[in-house]
Amino acid sequence: MVKYAAQRLLLMLVTLLIITCMCFVLVRMLPPVELPAGDPHTPVILAQREAWGYNKPYLVQFGIFLKNIFTKWDWGVSDKLYFGQNVAAMFASKLPATMIVNLLSILLSIPLGIGLGIWAALKKNTWVDHTISTLTMVVVSVPSFVFAFLIQYFLSFKLGWFPFLMEPLQGRSYLDWKVFSSMLPAVMSLSFGVIAGFTRTTRAELTEVLTSEFMLLARTKGLTRRQATVRHALKNCMVVILPAIFGNFIGIMSGSLVIEKIFSVPGVGGLYLNSINGRDYNIFMLLTVFYTTVSLLAGIVVDISYGFIDPRIRMGSKK
């Protein structure tokens, strides 16, 4: 497992380097952003472009880019959106909002999704199972931004339970009730699809396990259906369900790009879209590396987690 993990990490670094290089070259091939004349930050940005080798070959520029990151953690300054501000500091200030929204979404989705999946599996081929399965199929097919608009219309406009947009912090923490409650519409919008995904996965796995031979053996030994389900069936289902949590977390991270924009969440998702629309290349590069790294790390964690959940599984083994 250690050897397999080391190989995967090395492969991840190579993949990350290739993706970063491709994005960097494609971005530098675009025309540079025109800087406003007379602004005090303009000479600073021009001097930085000179130091970063904007007039040199692309591979030389990429080498300077990597050197600045590894030696000084310098991702440059914003050319347009936040003119003259440090990109890394801006990213650090917006990351907490994105992480809180995504973590709340996954924490809400796990118990609800698994619980509904267990209920559907135990009530197989009944109206409960058919209802849950149909709703799951419908919810999985609908994009998260559609739920965002429905929540804004019914819960915010019609019922007035939540504000349309997230409350600005203005010196308050995310635990402040007004700020926290204003995040809930974004959290719920991201959770619907993930709940449906967990429900479908749990129902499929548990239904298969409940009809297996070792479950019949457990029942013949005197265990009740509930005891056999909790002690044996759910434990075997976790081999598939627990790694799916990491995959769904990445799915939420991707979906939050649009959701953050809709609800004005001051996170990196909205910043990423703004950097694309505004052609702020330094912000775009930092966030591209961030999302790529998270996706690659999640894949490694999912693969390695199989071996820890079930000792019979050993990744990288030749046997």
pLDDT of residue 75: 86
CB 52 within 8 A of CB 68: yes
pLDDT of residue 50: 80
pTM for the model stands at: 0.79
Whether 18 shows a pLDDT value over 90: the answer reads yes
Mean pLDDT of 310-318: 55
Q: Of the candidates 75, 23, 57, 98, which has an alpha carbon nearest to the alpha carbon of residue 255?
A: 98
pLDDT of residue 159: 87
Q: Encode pLDDT of 146-174 as tens digits.
A: 888 999 899 888 888 888 888 887 777 77
Residue 307 banded pLDDT, cuts 50, 70, 90: low
What is the share, in percent, of the chain residues with pLDDT greater than 70?
87
Question: Residue 249 and residue 256: Cα distance in Å, rounded?
Answer: 10
Whether 317 shows a pLDDT value over 80: the answer reads no
Whether 131 shows a pLDDT value over 70: the answer reads yes
Mean pLDDT over each residue of the chain, to the nearest integer:
81
Residue 21 banded pLDDT, cuts 50, 70, 90: very high
User: Cα-atom radius of gyration of the chain, to the nearest Å?
Assistant: 24
3-state secondary structure labels for all residues of 219-256: HHCCCCHHHHHHHHHHHHHHHHHHHHHHHHHHHHHHHH
Whether 37 shows a pLDDT value over 60: the answer reads yes
Whether 201 shows a pLDDT value over 60: the answer reads yes
Residue 251 banded pLDDT, cuts 50, 70, 90: low
